[in-house]
Amino acid sequence: MMNETRGTSRRIFLLIARLALGVMFLFAAYAKLKPQAAMPWSIASVKISLSMFAMQVDSYQLLPAQAVTLVAHWLPFVELVLGLWLLSGLWLRFSSLATTLLLGGFFALMVRTYSMGLEINCGCFGPGEQLGKKTLLRDGSLLAFSLAVTICAFLANQRRDNTATSVPAAASQPQRAN
Amino acid sequence: MIRRNFHPFRWLNLCRFASVAWLTLICGAGTVAQTQPRAQSKAVSNSDATALPVKSLGNRNAPITMEVFSDYQCPSCGNFFENSLKYMIPDMVANGQVYFIHRDFPLPMHPYSYMAARWANAAAKIGKFEIVDAALWDNQQAWSADGNIEKFVAVAVAPADFKRIKRLMEGCESNPNAAVKPAAFSGTAQTDHGCPLDAYIEQDKQLAKQIPVTQTPTTVITYKGQRLQAMPGFVTWPILKQFLNSLLSQ
């Protein structure tokens, strides 16, 4: 009974968490792709937004120009796909693991930049957000949250596997007795 | 009829009148020529004082306007100039694609940045901003050590221009060092009333407040009248060029 309640609460937590993370990633992708100022949505305006995001990636002073362009042009789409994957709930272990790894990478980069004393834009949710203690705290919390989701997803899967293996065993036991 | 009009005395009077007029003209021209240089030099010094500092480069009607809020003593700003702006000016600014505007945003933590901004503004008043600006960035480390900015400005411009800049710097010589800071350097919006150049710096700082700018360098790009999100931090030239080209190709 207690195990059943725990299982239900874990399922609810996983549902809410993956929806929250999914929406957050979709918003992050949207913020990076949305046209600047009053420009209309078009391929050209999205290209401008991606180039602007490239400037933010470049300001971290970590990657060479070509890698900066590559990251800036792919990352928003990776976030978009990850957001949709989380919302779909398919292979949650892997989607949450990918999310944790990505957030871990972001967080490590932010800590490095902050410790270097660079005063730049975070670039997390598009332009206009300065990297500071607040953004570090937010991203650190998100990382912890995502890690908790990943652990829960793996535990839930393990439990499901155990149940699946124990059911046929239980079913086969009376047959053996017979 | 013709004979009646012809009178020798009349001709004589005409000749006298013409010679007097000619002499008057020559003397007048001489006097003007003598007095003009003095009047001109006076006009130059007056215009130096009243002229607005031109801290911009390129074509005012360029499709992209790029305003950079900088502090002359900030290392990131120095990096930005040396690794990006130095390449952009002879390329996209010279081609009429970008109109570049320098904005002063001296931070209170840097003891000589306000003084450097004063020198840059004085140079901008006589149209020598580009040279002095480059000299300040190129020698940032050197003058940041002792605050001797004058030395590098003197080397950058012609002696006559340096004299004009020095004249504009009169009343602005109270060098703000780390120990004694006038009100203008303490981070408040107050200006040093002895230095008329501070008004231009404060004007830029007011603009920065409106955007708002909180750190340096901060780049504000306006494309065809639309101001984009302010971009703080240093950006390398290839990435900046890529962004500007993406705007131009729209």
* Cβ-nearest to A55 among B226, B243, B249: B243
Q: Smallest Cβ distance to B228: which of A36, A54, A119?
A: A36
The tens digit of pLDDT for each residue in A18-66 reads: 899 999 999 999 999 998 877 888 888 899 999 999 999 998 889 999 9
With residue B102 as reference, give the H or E element that holds it: strand B98-104
Q: Which residues of A touch B236 (CB under 8 A)?
A: 58, 65
Q: How far apart are CA B166 and CA B115, in angstroms?
A: 13
Residues of B in contact with A121 (CB under 8 A): 231-233
A43 touching B (Cβ < 8 Å): no
* H or E element at residue B218: strand B218-223
Q: Please, what are the domains in chain B?
A: 56-248 (3.40.30.10)
pLDDT for B34 beyond 90: no
Range of the domain at A25: 2-164
Among the residue ranges A126-140, B56-70, B106-120, the one predicted with the least confidence is A126-140
Q: What is the pLDDT of residues A126-135, one digit of tens each?
A: 777 788 899 9
Chain mean pLDDT for chain B:
80
A121 CB contacts (<8 Å, ≥6 apart)?
A56, A59, A127, A128, A129, A130, A131, B231, B232, B233
pLDDT in tens, A84-142: 999 998 999 999 999 999 999 999 999 999 998 887 888 888 777 788 899 999 999 99
The answer to ipTM > 0.85 is no
The residues that bridge with B66 in the sheet, in sequence order, are: B100, B221
pLDDT band of residue B26 (cuts 50, 70, 90) is: very low
Note whether residue A23 is domain-resident.
yes
Inform me whether the pLDDT recorded for A145 exceeds 80. yes
H helices of A34-91, in order, are 43-58, 65-88
How far A43 CA lies from chain B's nearest CA (Å)? Answer: 9
- The reply to whether A151 falls in a domain is yes
Total domains in chain A come to 1
Give yes or no for a contact between B165 and B128, defined as CB atoms under 8 angstroms apart. yes
A145: in domain: yes
Give the tokens for residue A63: 């990657």
Phi, psi of B100 (to 5 degrees): -100, 130
Per-position b or e across B221-242, b if 16+ CB within 10 A of its CB: bbbeeeebbbbbbbbbbbbbbb
Q: Is A48 on the interface with B (CB under 8 A)?
A: yes
